Structure 1
Amino acid sequence: MHEVGLNYTRYKMAVASQFIWQNIFHQYKPCDRRNYQQVKLFINVFNASKVAYTGSGEIYFSANYLEKYPTRYLRREFTGIMYREMARVWQWNGDGQANPGLIDGIANYVRMKANLAPVGQSTKPKCGGRWDQGGDVTARFLDYCDSMRKGFVADLNMKMKYSYSDNYFQQLLGKSVNQVWRQYKKKKANLAPVGRLVSQTHVWWQMVPRWERYGQVLGLL
């Protein structure tokens, strides 16, 4: 069967880390980053509905999800989820004070900026009900904030190193987060649909056994 392979996984974990440090969080010095000496990635069978989760420098993928995902796009999906979860490893969370929806939104923002959004995901901006709804909604809102201030997500992440406050939006953008959200909704809500995202990249596959040993380390950065 088609599989991404151990070497690919390790390589992409390193590439994703560099992308996050350099392009998203602007953490050019090790002292600016979270202090993990290594990051482990596991493929596990678990009952939770989550596709993947991360904690303490360890990333867990759902073997069930990967087994069922269309083979044609498996490598892209695997890589996209990896970028999202690597963002969770390296991002600051306000010492646990930040809204989970914002944390999730930042991770999905990283995936989006890496051009690894899920195949078939709509490219029309999503307004949603709340700015901190999480997922693609918050990711696209953060992209809008970044258009107002270049490097906004990097600056916000740095402010979240030790604490969190919604007032950080005011400090960085000159407007409250709710004001920016209303402005974003007004600007984006009436945009016409622009189709659905489909990968135009040719995907090359490596032939190796598929998830043959669940629960063991697949990748180690």
Structure 2
Amino acid sequence: MKLHVAAAASLLLAMAATAGAVTFNATNAASNTTGGHRFDQAVGLAYANQVLSSASIFIWITFNQTNPADRKPVDAVTLVVADVDGAAFTVDDAITLSAQYVGNYSGDVKTEVTGVLYHETTHVWQWDGQGQANGGLIEGIADYVRLKAGYAPGHWVKPGQGDRWDQGYDVTARFLDYCDSLKPGFVALLNAKMKGGYTDDFFAQILGKNVQQLWQEYKAKYA
């Protein structure tokens, strides 16, 4: 047990060292708004930078990308808090967090922002099948990371809920968690395959069953 803990500690140290090769920079371009002010008071730029780094390490571990050569070639991850609609979005390695969302959120805004940043940072690092993967799967993987990191909000669907496997976000995240229970490391293997393209057949290649059969069995388990 002690050896296992020591090995995990060594891995985290190694991952932290590689994280040092990536720069993380958060800025607040909406400090003069209600949401921007709330961000400064409840979250802060120093904490946001810390989350970007911690989330990146967690994502690399989740995707089994301990070797930097296995990851997307990203040198810097940026976050801007801006006066925009929605909650947040990511383009390449740039994350935008909505000050309006922060200002209107009712609840523990620091925890919510942390979860949103885990989701958005996943978009920075995940493979998208060379643009061939459907958006529901892409968003589901990002929410899967948020789920495994312990930042799933209470309003998410329960396991087994949802209309289709690629519905996206929490529905797909719960399904991916089920798939990962069948073969630990499934999401890492799926993400790795998505580096060069995408087909639904990846599910069968990894788990021996097509995705529709897996979805039906998942629904039946929680019926």
TM-score (norm 1): 0.80
Give the number of equivalent residue pairs: 184
Aligned-partner Cα distance in 2 for 1:155–1:129: 25
What is the Cα deviation at residue 59 of structure 1?
A: 0.3
Is 1:36 the counterpart of 2:74 in the alignment?
A: yes
Q: What are the ranges of 5 or more consecutive residues in structure 2 without an aligned counterpart?
A: 1-37
RMSD after superposition:
1.2
Decide which of 110, 115, 120 is 2:150's aligned counterpart: 115
> What is residue 119 of structure 2 aligned with on the other side?
84
| 2:82/2:98 contact within 8 Å kept | yes
What is the Cα deviation at residue 12 of structure 1?
A: 1.1
Decide which of 122, 125, 129 is 2:159's aligned counterpart: 125
Higher relative CO (Cα under 8 Å, sequence separation at least 6) belongs to 1
What is the Cα deviation at residue 121 of structure 1?
A: 2.1
> What is residue 62 of structure 1 aligned with on the other side?
98
Decide which of 72, 89, 93 is 1:53's aligned counterpart: 89
Q: What are the ranges of 5 or more consecutive residues in structure 1 without an aligned counterpart?
A: 190-221
Aligned-partner Cα distance in 2 for 1:175–1:123: 24
Query: What is the DSSP-based 3-state SS (H/G/I as helix, E as strand, rest coil) of the residue aligned with 1:7?
Result: helix
Query: What is the DSSP-based 3-state SS (H/G/I as helix, E as strand, rest coil) of the residue aligned with 1:39?
Result: strand
- Name the aligned partner's letter for residue 80 of structure 2: F
Decide which of 119, 133, 151 is 1:98's aligned counterpart: 133
| 1:41/1:59 contact within 8 Å kept | yes
The runs of at least 4 consecutive aligned structure 1 residues that moved more than 3 Å come to none
- Name the aligned partner's letter for residue 12 of structure 1: V
Is 1:183 the counterpart of 2:217 in the alignment?
A: yes
Aligned-partner Cα distance in 2 for 1:6–1:54: 18
What is the Cα deviation at residue 44 of structure 1?
A: 1.0
TM-score (norm 2): 0.80
